[in-house]
Amino acid sequence: MVRAKIFSKFWEVAKSKGALQTLIFVSITESIFFPIPPDVLLIPMGLAKREKAFFYAGICLIGSIVGGIIGYYLGYFFMDSIGQSLIRFYGLGDKYLYLQHLYLKYEFWAVGIAGLTPVPYKLCTLTAGAFKIPILSFTLVSLFSRGVRFYTISALIFWQGEKARNFLEKRFNWVMSLTVGLLILGFIALKWF
């Protein structure tokens, strides 16, 4: 019920004159502190103007990367104060421990995993900074993982239209998990061949 109300509200925002500015704002701030991912605006905006779905994905990607770099530097310089406060505020302690494990094991590849999964990207950016992952590696992997995420959504919208709406609203995490699985298989195949 609450989820339906949230999606309904974002449909209203997507139809407003300030929709593009809101998408930019949400894309940047979600990477730092905002609790709602830009996908919830990308979907209705893309469906309202399917010919602009890929443009909107690009806006999400650029905003997400800009916000991600800000979040990275917050984690790099201020993890003990601002970063930990955000983690406590959102109750992300368990996910932070999970990400720490990923960063220790996979380093910057953890950014790719977190960028595609339900792990909040803001947590990924803060943790990457806290672990001093090289900024170039962080940015490139973020570009790839967030690009896959936003352009996959836009491709579904562009080619499937309204059918994509119900599918994405109900099975978003499943779609992203499948995408991660396919990417991992691709990396394994590249390594072996």
Sequence-ordered list of residues with C-beta below 8 angstroms from that of 92, at least 6 positions apart, any chain: 86, 120, 123
Chain centroid to Cα 98, Å, comes to 17
Is 109 within 8 Å of 163 (Cβ atoms)? no
Count the neighbouring beta carbons within 10 Å of the beta carbon of residue 20: 16
Which pLDDT score, from 0 to 100, does residue 78 have?
96
The predicted pLDDT at position 183 comes to 55
The pLDDT assigned to 190 comes to: 46
Q: Which residue has the tokens 């368990």?
A: 94
Does the model's pTM come out above 0.75?
yes
Look at residue 7 in the predicted model and tell me its pLDDT.
Answer: 65
Answer yes or no: are the C-beta atoms of 41 and 26 closer than 8 Å: yes
Residue 130 pLDDT: 93
Residue with tokens 């995408």: 179
pLDDT tens per residue across all 193 residues of the chain:
555 666 677 778 878 889 999 999 999 999 999 888 898 889 889 988 999 999 999 999 999 999 999 999 999 999 999 999 989 998 888 888 888 888 888 777 788 777 766 678 898 899 999 999 999 999 999 999 899 889 988 998 898 887 776 676 666 666 656 655 655 555 555 455 4
Spatial separation of the C-alpha atoms in residues 43 and 39, rounded to whole Å = 6
Q: How far apart are CA 181 and CA 177, in angstroms?
A: 6
> What's the CA gap between 66 and 63, in Å, rounded?
5
The Cα–Cα gap between 116 and 138 comes to: 14
What are the residue boundaries of the structural domains of the chain, listed by start? 2-192
Which one-letter amino acid corresponds to residue 168?
Answer: L
List own/partner pairs for 181-184 with CB under 8 A and 24 or more apart: 183/112, 183/116, 183/148
Given this model, what pLDDT does residue 114 score? 72
Q: Which burial class, exposed, middle or buried, applies to 70 when counting CB atoms under 10 A from its CB (0-12, 13-18, 19+)?
A: middle
